[in-house]
Amino acid sequence: MDTDRLAIHGGAPYRTRPFPTVDNASGRWLGDEEKRLLAEVIDSGALNRNNGVMVARLEQAWRELLDVPHAMAVTSGTAALHTAVAALDLEPGDEVITTPITDMGTVIAILACCLVPIFADVDPRTGNITAETIAAQITPKTRAVIVVHLFGQPADMDPILALARERHLRVIEDCAQAHLATYRGQRVGSLGDLGCFSFQQSKQMTTGDGGMVVTHDEALAARARLFTDKAWPRGIPGLRGHLFLGMNYRLTELQGAVGLAQAGKLEAIVARRRQTAGLLSGALTGIPGLVPPYVAPGADPAWWIFSFTSDDSVLGAPPGELARAIRGEGLPFNLGYIPNLVFEYDVIRERRTFGRSGIPWTLPQARPGIVYDRAAYPGALEFLARTLVMSWNEGISEEDVQDMVGALGKVARYYVGRKAGRSSA
């Protein structure tokens, strides 16, 4: 039947309407509450956080969401990570271990503090670093680990935290994609020394750009808060002093207003994402050759991205060909997350950091001879080569999921049939 003919072969696409997207209102829960709080800020005339109340209220909301005593709002997820690394007050040339599969913001935070990024391989099922891969990269210069909860899937934190305690390492959680994800019943970001979140357009909640740093540690919180405000101790009357090198990462009251409204919806937003992602995950178990996303025991993801893999022994199609066929049916799934491992970007490969200095790698305090060889990261290469991904959002409906299941089933049937035909030839 023509309805079974793949679109890439001239058939009719299974879905022609666009899916909801985080790029606009179709996939974002934005509305009257955001408008009301924005109007309050405009009417007050106080748009700066030091003169207003919205950012402070947003921070309080996040303290309650994460059950932590300290939360500092900042201008972006990258700023949150930079703040967290700076709060550790490490020495130039010290090393911080992280993943080669992440947004560049994770690594910017390390480089901006004149620290050397070291990369640990990942579990090819989740894309997350593990205690074993971290341990393989620890040297006498290692001081901290940034764990990225990729796609909103929590990393296996208990072994990582045990390793960090044993080796006297600080742990920063990069939760930019993992708002309200839980690990063994505890929300990520509250497990390590510091947790970092992003409020960029695509995240579970958004202020356009923005972020949050959380911690249980009072000393880290004090230094982090100072760092975001040029290290200016505003609480001392009459003193205009700057205690150390800091940034201006103050969130505005306008962003705080939107963030406060979004924070009030966040649990419902994540619940909606979990519902629809669960429907699709369950349906994939019934489609030959398609493998649902792996969720580690004790983890409850927040679904920033929905990902799955395929079984070539069943379908007889490489992932790239499969991805093209799926996109042809109207589903916005792509192969891989980033085009290369993060250390293959020009900024790291060619050491384009501070002029032509090559800092931090060329610092006299740094360990000499550090190289990044992609062959040393088989888990990461497998993950990028095999994983199909689609940005997830709260606007996706049960009907949308049904269309995804129908289109994926159509593609799988074709390849199973093609393989069977070849086998019988």
Beta bridge partners of 195: 173, 214
**363 in a structural domain:** no
Residues 6+ apart with CB under 8 A from 386: 124, 309, 310, 319
C-alpha count within 13 angstroms, C-beta hemisphere, residue 36: 6
**12 in a structural domain:** no
Residues 6+ apart with CB under 8 A from 152: 177, 178, 179, 181, 204, 301, 302, 303, 304, 305
**27 in a structural domain:** no
Whether 183 contacts 298, CB under 8 Å: yes
Sign of the Cα pseudo-torsion (225, 228, 230, 234, in order): negative
Residues 6+ apart with CB under 8 A from 240: 232
CATH number, residue 190: 3.40.640.10
**382 in a structural domain:** no
What is the arrangement of strands in the sheet containing 211-215, beginning at the earlier edge strand? 70-74, 211-215, 194-198, 170-174, 142-148, 95-98, 116-119
Coil, strand or helix at 313: helix
Whether 408 contacts 326, CB under 8 Å: yes
Sign of the Cα pseudo-torsion (327, 331, 332, 333, in order): negative
**309 in a structural domain:** no
**110 in a structural domain:** yes
Containing structural domain, residue 115: 32-264
The pLDDT tens digits along the chain (425 residues) read 456 899 999 999 999 999 999 999 999 999 999 999 999 999 999 999 999 999 999 999 999 999 999 999 999 999 999 999 999 999 999 999 999 999 999 999 999 999 999 999 999 999 999 999 999 999 999 999 999 999 999 999 999 999 999 999 999 999 999 999 999 999 999 999 999 999 999 999 999 999 999 999 999 999 999 999 999 998 777 777 899 999 999 999 999 999 999 999 999 999 999 999 999 999 999 999 999 999 999 999 999 999 999 999 999 999 999 999 999 999 999 999 999 999 999 999 999 999 999 999 999 999 999 999 999 999 999 999 999 999 999 999 999 999 999 999 999 999 999 998 854 33
How does strand 116-119 pair with strand 170-174?
A: unpaired
**149 in a structural domain:** yes
Q: Which of 12, 28, 20, 126 is nearest to 401 (CA)?
A: 20
C-alpha count within 13 angstroms, C-beta hemisphere, residue 201: 7
State pLDDT tens for residues 294-342: 999 999 999 999 999 999 999 999 999 999 999 999 999 999 999 999 9
Cα–Cα distance for residue pair 271/175, rounded to 1 Å = 17
Q: What is the number of domains present in the chain?
A: 1
Cis peptide before 360 (omega within 30 of 0): yes
**274 in a structural domain:** no
Task: Kindly report the number of other CB atoms within 10 A of residue 259's CB atom.
Answer: 30
